[in-house]
Amino acid sequence: MAIITLPYKYLERLTRTDKKTILDKVALIGSDVERVEEDHADVEFFPDRPDLFSPEGVARAMRGYLGIETGLPTYPVKPSGISFTIDPKLANIRPVLGSAVIRGVTFDDESIQSIMSLQESLHWAVGRGRSKVAIGIHDLDTVKPPFHYIASPRSRKFVPLDYTEEMTMDEILEKHPKGRDYAKIVKDFPFFPLIFDRDDHVLSFPPIINGERTRVTIDTKNILLDTTGTDKRAVSVAVNIICTAMAEAGAKIESVEIGGMQTPTLAPAERTVSVAECSRLLGIDLTAATMASLLQKMRFGAKAAGADKVKVQVPCYRADIMHDWDLFEDVAIAYGYDRIQDLPPETSTVGKPHPVQITAALAREAFCGLGYLEVMPFTLTNEDVLYGKMQREEKKGVLHVMHPISIENTVVRTDLLPLLLEFLTLNRHRELPQRLFTVGDVVDSCHTHQQAAGVSMHPDVDFSEAYASADAVLHELSIDYTVKESIDPAFIEGRRGDILVAGKTVGVFGEIHPAVLNAFELEHNVAAFEFDLRAVPGYPAL
């Protein structure tokens, strides 16, 4: 999640109102205020709104929401006369380049920090950890155009940021902290992306690291932006967000020529939307004029075009507007969620419980009647609990998660009984008798079904208790079963039975084997049973 630091003084100057008004309302445009400090607030914005990842962007939105300045913000762009060439060999490596010149910036330590943090947030939200988009910011006055974006031999040397010695690009991946962090994005390519100037001075090795030469300092007046990536739309959004944020801070934006095109234009996109459709979706009555003014409050350009249409200009920094409904959400936000009449729909339906849950509830009732206490163990467990301690063979249908968090949680349960025994271990110090049961999901390969299991532990436990309890629960669930001697190694030989329905084994009961008790560190005899709820008549085939 992107948590943005908003320094009050700067925010108040840009928004042209006091911080209290801003903080009171900022959640209503879609955010969570995380911390309110003496001189700044930390606010979390959602990943679909990277245009709010800077104080400048937040101020722009709040001026609209508070009615201080509404409608489409416009950003004039002059050509800079600067151009880039792109090496066709980059087509399969990192083909997309965006750029811009930002003039007349005034930096101090705080505002440099602010732009760096915007850059990092964009790397996260839009750039997918720099793989899709990576942004480089350079002091334009340290290099000379034209610039060249090429697929370079990996042996090319330059001084990377924060270093004083030249290194080859391969060495940077190996030794530079940023190189190590992001090496995986480029390491398999025969050539590496590189940007350099007329005099062969290196600006950057995207998406890894800039050159030390173009480092931005508080003396920097003019900036050159390089934005590279694999997705045209994402690259362009990143450029637009940075340029418009810097323009809000007072800088002038100039375009750059890339492949014969001037970029960026910072021009809005256009969409014509239906007022009736919006009213229908939100459940509020709107006219074209109200809808247009609500959209203007959200910083869109909007004009009624007849009774049912509104012509909308979408600012270039709004990456999230993919569909008409995205605009309708902004209408709802501007209108105020609290003003929308909240009435349940008139849709008439009758409630209907699921047969699996009906069966599960009846099984629980039967166990409770026998004095068993329900427990709800985790479904993630490990092979040792499920099979090792139980002296059982690993089941074919067991599912191993590919990247377990710990050795305790490597598989999804295929049985419930081992988890109940684990529970008894956990509660060794508690008063006996302990009679525990659980009803819940288990997997067999990709299929899920429900099973039920019970255990009883006390000094006088015997085989007949296991048999009688299993019989009672099975009877309550109308399971017509027969029994034959079992060979389940988790139970004592001669004190174990398989539960059969129509010739198929659906469960087991008996006295737990002392070696299993030892493995679970239990001191008393345990009577236990488990069965598959698919044996219940009427259990649906899923």
Phi, psi of 34 (to 5 degrees): -85, -50
Residue 139 has which token pair? 């002091």
Q: What is the DSSP string of 358-384?
A: HHHHHHHHHHHHTTPEE----SEE-HI
Q: Name which of 261 and 401 has its Cβ closer to other proteins.
A: 401
Interacting span for other proteins (CB under 8 A) from 97-105, 191-199, 309-317, 421-429: 421-429
Q: Residue type for 428, please? A: R
Instruction: Provide the minimum distance between the beta carbon of 370 and other proteins in the complex, in angstroms, as a whole number.
Output: 6
Say whether residue 357 binds other proteins (CB under 8 A).
Answer: yes
Say whether residue 345 binds other proteins (CB under 8 A).
Answer: yes
Candidate list 445, 464, 478, 482; residue touching other proteins; CB under 8 A: 445
Instruction: Provide the minimum distance between the beta carbon of 338 and other proteins in the complex, in angstroms, as a whole number.
Output: 7
CA–CA separation, 473 and 86 (whole Å) = 74
Instruction: Provide the minimum distance between the beta carbon of 43 and other proteins in the complex, in angstroms, as a whole number.
Output: 13
Interactions with other proteins, residue window 367-386 (CB under 8 A): 367-380
Say whether residue 518 binds other proteins (CB under 8 A).
Answer: no
Say whether residue 33 binds other proteins (CB under 8 A).
Answer: no
Q: Name which of 198 and 280 has its Cβ closer to other proteins.
A: 280
Instruction: Provide the minimum distance between the beta carbon of 281 and other proteins in the complex, in angstroms, as a whole number.
Output: 6
Instruction: Provide the minimum distance between the beta carbon of 386 and other proteins in the complex, in angstroms, as a whole number.
Output: 16
Say whether residue 340 binds other proteins (CB under 8 A).
Answer: yes
Q: 199-203 long-range contacts, Cβ below 8 Å, gap at least 24?
A: 199/143, 199/144, 201/142, 201/143, 201/144, 202/156, 202/158, 202/159, 203/136, 203/138, 203/143, 203/147
CA–CA separation, 73 and 367 (whole Å) = 67
Candidate list 120, 171, 326, 383; residue touching other proteins; CB under 8 A: 326
Q: Give the per-residue contact string, 98-137, with other proteins (x = CB under 8 A; - = no).
A: ------------------------------x---x-----
User: For residue 471, what is the enclosing H or E element?
Assistant: helix 463-476
Interactions with other proteins, residue window 59-88 (CB under 8 A): none
Q: Name which of 49 and 178 has its Cβ closer to other proteins.
A: 49
Candidate list 109, 402, 459, 494; residue touching other proteins; CB under 8 A: 402
Residue among 51, 64, 46, 52 nearest 294 (CA): 64
Interactions with other proteins, residue window 422-441 (CB under 8 A): 423, 426-427, 430-431, 434-436, 441
User: Quick check: helix, strand or coil at residue 208?
Assistant: coil
Distances (CA, A) of 271 to 8, 199, 299, 308: 35, 45, 14, 14
Say whether residue 164 binds other proteins (CB under 8 A).
Answer: no
Burial class (CB in 10 A: 0-12, 13-18, 19+), 494: exposed
Q: Residue type for 60, please? A: R
Instruction: Provide the minimum distance between the beta carbon of 217 and other proteins in the complex, in angstroms, as a whole number.
Output: 33
Phi, psi of 352 (to 5 degrees): -145, 110
Q: Name which of 29 and 474 has its Cβ closer to other proteins.
A: 29
| Cβ contacts of 13 within 8 Å, gap of 6 or more | none
Candidate list 13, 187, 198, 323; residue touching other proteins; CB under 8 A: 323
Instruction: Provide the minimum distance between the beta carbon of 29 and other proteins in the complex, in angstroms, as a whole number.
Output: 7
CA–CA separation, 284 and 401 (whole Å) = 47
Interacting span for other proteins (CB under 8 A) from 90-98, 256-264, 354-362, 526-534: 354-362
Say whether residue 337 binds other proteins (CB under 8 A).
Answer: yes
Say whether residue 407 binds other proteins (CB under 8 A).
Answer: no
Cα 45–Cα 126–Cα 186 angle in degrees, nearest 5: 145
CA–CA separation, 190 and 240 (whole Å) = 31
Q: Name which of 368 and 515 has its Cβ closer to other proteins.
A: 368
Q: What is the total count of residues that contact other proteins (CB under 8 A)?
A: 87
Q: Residue type for 491, please? A: F
| Cβ contacts of 523 within 8 Å, gap of 6 or more | 428, 517
Interactions with other proteins, residue window 237-276 (CB under 8 A): 271
CA–CA separation, 445 and 407 (whole Å) = 20
Q: Name which of 164 and 406 has its Cβ closer to other proteins.
A: 406
Cβ neighbours around 56 below 10 Å, total: 26
Interactions with other proteins, residue window 275-294 (CB under 8 A): 280-284
Interacting span for other proteins (CB under 8 A) from 6-14, 134-142, 305-313, 345-353: 345-353
Say whether residue 182 binds other proteins (CB under 8 A).
Answer: no
Candidate list 23, 289, 399, 492; residue touching other proteins; CB under 8 A: 399
Say whether residue 299 binds other proteins (CB under 8 A).
Answer: no
